[in-house]
């Protein structure tokens, strides 16, 4: 379990914007989709959402929490979210939550 001091939370709030988080989630979605050789339409069909929803997520636009979690679950990342781990895309485009 991670514990943050007041200074840590303040620093996180000062350096990370919601837009940055949405863009990072979008990048993870797109990279995972590509790594699995899925088109937007194929992923949308598998998740029972529209291809526009997938496009919006990938472009960092507003999406419902349900749809973001559907994507995470589809790519096996939901357990990491539950553990409180953070999204990380490393230099080799390995996508994980840690």
Query: 31-59: per-residue pLDDT in tens?
Result: 999 999 999 999 999 999 999 999 999 99
Which residues form the domain of 62? Answer: 15-97
Domain count, the chain: 1
Note the pTM of the prediction, 2 decimals.
0.70
The answer to the question of residue 31 being in a domain is yes
| Residues 6+ away with beta carbon under 8 Å from 96 | 77, 80, 85, 87, 88
Query: 34: how many CB neighbours lie within 10 A of its CB?
Result: 11
The answer to the question of residue 8 being in a domain is no
CA distances from residue 34 to 16, 18, 87 in whole angstroms, order as listed = 26, 24, 17
The answer to the question of residue 72 being in a domain is yes
Q: The CATH number of the domain where 88 resides is what?
A: 1.10.260.40
CA distances from residue 59 to 21, 25, 41 in whole angstroms, order as listed = 11, 9, 15
Provide the mean pLDDT of the chain. Answer: 80
């Amino acid at each position: 379990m991670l514990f943050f001091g007041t200074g840590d939370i303040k620093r996180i709030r000062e350096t990370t914007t919601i837009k940055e988080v949405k863009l990072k989630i979008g990048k993870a979605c797109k990279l995972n989709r590509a790594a699995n050789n899925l088109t937007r339409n194929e992923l949308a069909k598998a998740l029972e959402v529209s291809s526009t929803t997938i496009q919006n997520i990938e472009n960092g636009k507003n999406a419902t929490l349900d749809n973001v979690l559907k994507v995470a679950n589809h790519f096996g990342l939901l357990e990491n979210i539950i553990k409180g781990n953070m999204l990380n895309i490393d230099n080799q485009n390995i996508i994980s939550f840690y």
